[in-house]
């Protein structure tokens, strides 16, 4: 594979970091401040896009800044998988910046400068993880992301926010410091390198116990992936303002976790080693528990954001399940779901925020008839729900299709049943919301309810865009599929 040395990946990572001082300096002029976020977001997305042609040509873009220890470099390496994730995250940052303006200003939130700064750093680290060329670089950005999103989770600075933030840090940093660091040390001591390579760095002649142990440690260490029993931080993190839940807890942070798991399975262990040591199918069964259990918990939640959070926990495990199947279509479906779930889930969170801005309603049983008050929002919500369920022509369908084919390739009817059962459960917890919003009568004589109007444009337009894109990717999934096939070779 041809390798191009270019500083572009580094620039793409750093551009949002460079925006931080500018954001800080213009804290007194909010409009200028948000302009910096926009500028950085557009440059970032542009840089990511500019690398696409080379990647589609089958090249790799690499930049090694310096060597830390022998065998451990600070390296950014852009391959199709990284670019795929980076495209999703950097594009959604643009949308979320617009949404943030609408949401944060409507809610009159405090400390908005801090908010935009942390957001920018979080995006830097998300791209850093996407482009990381080895485990050290990945770990570096992974940790930065955990720490820098803490102020976003604890944004409201009340009791609930501190508790949510505490849980967030304990889970993410705690497990990264123990399990992940341990796994990295074992990997380095066993293989002598931390680089990501096509086909992995572990080989089949290594001691089975070490390979299995380090693999389990990796799975536990990447707590951002939200696998049970290490998922509890995610629902608690819902105390954050909705744009944070939208971009970070549906896209950037959790997807960084899942992405890292995918990266480790594909480029640290490799399909062959996973197969040889029989790690794939047990993983798939392990995450199946999360898929079903999280869906069942979601059924019981009356708080809209909490239900979405558990839906996220469940959907994240789809991705790991797909990759753990180790069959071509399974891996393709799993990876594709990173983007598809991102676009649809961010739509759903944006809708939840939109409802909150317009009406301050958080509970699902208060949503009767709101569809006619907020038609755009609730239509987008419906599209997002359909995607989660896997209704054809919406994004979620494509990935679910590949996942189902993958389970059949792997010859596991049990896993197929898990997917089908979870689809039923998805329908069971999303459709009632849609039904309430459009088909139940609004509470009569409620003045507050009567006064509800559609949320401001800065809120509604972004969620419309993501909803439309969910449909577009459902009908034309080829752009992303091409990238993933390039990665799979």
Query: Closest CB to another protein among 38 and 162?
Result: 162
Q: Are 364 and 433 in contact (CB under 8 A)?
A: yes
Q: Report the candidate in 290, 465, 270, 447 with the shortest Cα–Cα distance to residue 384.
A: 465
Query: Closest CB to another protein among 155 and 341?
Result: 155
CB of 142 to another protein, least distance (A): 8
From CA 267, how far away is CA 262, in angstroms rounded?
A: 8
Query: Closest CB to another protein among 162 and 276?
Result: 162
CB of 177 to another protein, least distance (A): 4
Sequence-separated (6 or more) residues with CB below 8 Å from residue 59: 1, 2, 3, 4
Sequence-separated (6 or more) residues with CB below 8 Å from residue 401: 333, 390
CB of 185 to another protein, least distance (A): 5
Q: Which residue has the tokens 């080989």?
A: 203
CB of 110 to another protein, least distance (A): 4
CB of 84 to another protein, least distance (A): 25
Q: Is 200 helix (H, G, I), strand (E, B) or coil?
A: coil
CB of 227 to another protein, least distance (A): 19
CB of 82 to another protein, least distance (A): 19
Query: Closest CB to another protein among 103 and 350?
Result: 103
CB of 290 to another protein, least distance (A): 24
| Cβ neighbour number for residue 109 with a 10 Å cutoff | 15
* E strand or H helix at 91: helix 80-106
* E strand or H helix at 281: helix 280-300
CB of 118 to another protein, least distance (A): 12
Sequence-separated (6 or more) residues with CB below 8 Å from residue 40: 15, 16, 18, 19, 120
* E strand or H helix at 459: helix 457-475
Tokens at 488, concatenated: 């799979």
Find the length of the chain.
Answer: 489
Query: Closest CB to another protein among 153 and 434?
Result: 153
Query: Closest CB to another protein among 128 and 200?
Result: 128
CA angle, residues 134, 136, 140, in degrees to nearest 5: 120
CB of 136 to another protein, least distance (A): 7
CB of 55 to another protein, least distance (A): 27
CA angle, residues 94, 95, 96, in degrees to nearest 5: 95
From CA 406, how far away is CA 409, in angstroms rounded?
A: 5
Where on the chain is the footprint of another protein (CB under 8 A)? Answer: 66-69, 74, 110-111, 136, 139-140, 143-144, 147, 151, 154, 156-160, 162-163, 166, 169-170, 173-174, 177-178, 181-182, 185-186, 188-189
Query: Closest CB to another protein among 237 and 484?
Result: 237
Query: Closest CB to another protein among 185 and 413?
Result: 185
Q: In what order do the strands lie in the sheet with 60-69?
A: 3-5, 60-69, 72-78
Tokens at 439, concatenated: 């088909």
Query: Closest CB to another protein among 184 and 274?
Result: 184
**In Å, how far are 88, 149, 302, 456, 461 from 100, measured between CA atoms?**
18, 15, 25, 12, 12
From CA 467, how far away is CA 473, in angstroms rounded?
A: 10
From CA 348, how far away is CA 300, in angstroms rounded?
A: 18
Q: Are 92 and 117 in contact (CB under 8 A)?
A: no
Query: Closest CB to another protein among 49 and 173?
Result: 173
Query: Closest CB to another protein among 72 and 296?
Result: 72
């Amino acid at each position: 594979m041809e390798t191009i040395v270019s500083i572009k990946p580094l620039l793409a990572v750093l551009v949002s970091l460079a925006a931080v001082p500018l954001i800080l300096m213009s804290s007194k002029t909010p409009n200028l401040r948000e302009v910096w976020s926009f500028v950085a977001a557009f440059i970032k997305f542009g840089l990511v896009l500019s690398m696409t042609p080379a990647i589609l040509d089958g090249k790799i873009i690499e930049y090694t800044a310096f060597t830390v220890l022998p065998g451990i470099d600070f390296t950014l390496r852009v391959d199709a998988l990284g670019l795929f994730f980076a495209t999703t995250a950097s594009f959604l940052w643009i949308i979320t910046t617009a949404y943030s303006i609408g949401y944060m200003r409507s809610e009159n939130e405090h400390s908005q400068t801090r908010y935009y700064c942390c957001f920018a750093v979080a995006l830097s680290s998300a791209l850093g993880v996407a482009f990381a060329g080895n485990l050290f670089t990945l770990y570096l950005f992974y940790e930065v992301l955990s720490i820098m999103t803490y102020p976003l989770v604890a944004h409201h600075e009340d009791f609930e926010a501190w508790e949510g933030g505490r849980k967030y840090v304990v889970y993410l940093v705690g497990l990264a410091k123990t399990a992940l660091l341990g796994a990295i040390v074992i990997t380095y001591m066993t293989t002598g390198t931390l680089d990501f390579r096509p086909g992995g760095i572990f080989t089949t002649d290594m001691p089975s116990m070490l390979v299995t142990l380090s693999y389990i440690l990796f799975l536990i260490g990447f707590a951002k992936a939200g696998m049970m029993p290490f998922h509890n931080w995610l629902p608690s993190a819902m105390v954050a303002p909705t744009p944070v839940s939208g971009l970070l807890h549906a896209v950037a942070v959790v997807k960084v976790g899942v992405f890292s798991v995918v990266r480790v399975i594909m480029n640290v262990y490799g399909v062959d080693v996973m197969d040889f040591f029989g790690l794939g199918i047990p993983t798939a069964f392990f995450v199946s528990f999360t898929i079903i259990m999280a869906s069942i918990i979601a059924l019981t939640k009356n708080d809209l954001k909490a239900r979405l959070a558990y839906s996220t926990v469940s959907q994240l495990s789809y991705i790991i399940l797909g990759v753990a199947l180790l069959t071509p279509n399974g891996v393709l479906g799993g990876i594709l779901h990173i983007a598809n779930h991102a676009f649809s889930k961010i739509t759903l969170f944006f809708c939840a925020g939109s409802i909150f801005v317009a009406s301050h309603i958080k509970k699902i049983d208060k949503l009767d008839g709101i569809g006619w008050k907020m038609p755009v929002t609730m239509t987008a919500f419906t599209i997002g729900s359909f995607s989660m369920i896997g209704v054809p022509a919406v994004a979620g369908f494509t990935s679910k299709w590949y996942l189902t084919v993958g389970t059949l390739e792997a010859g596991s009817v049990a896993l197929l049943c898990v997917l089908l059962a979870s689809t039923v459960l998805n329908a069971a917890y999303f459709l009632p919301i849609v039904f309430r919003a459009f088909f139940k009568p609004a509470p009569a004589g409620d003045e507050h309810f009567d006064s509800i109007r559609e949320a401001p444009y800065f809120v509604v337009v972004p969620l419309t865009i993501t909803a439309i894109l969910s449909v577009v990717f459902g009908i034309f999934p080829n752009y992303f599929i091409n990238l993933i096939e390039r990665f799979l070779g």
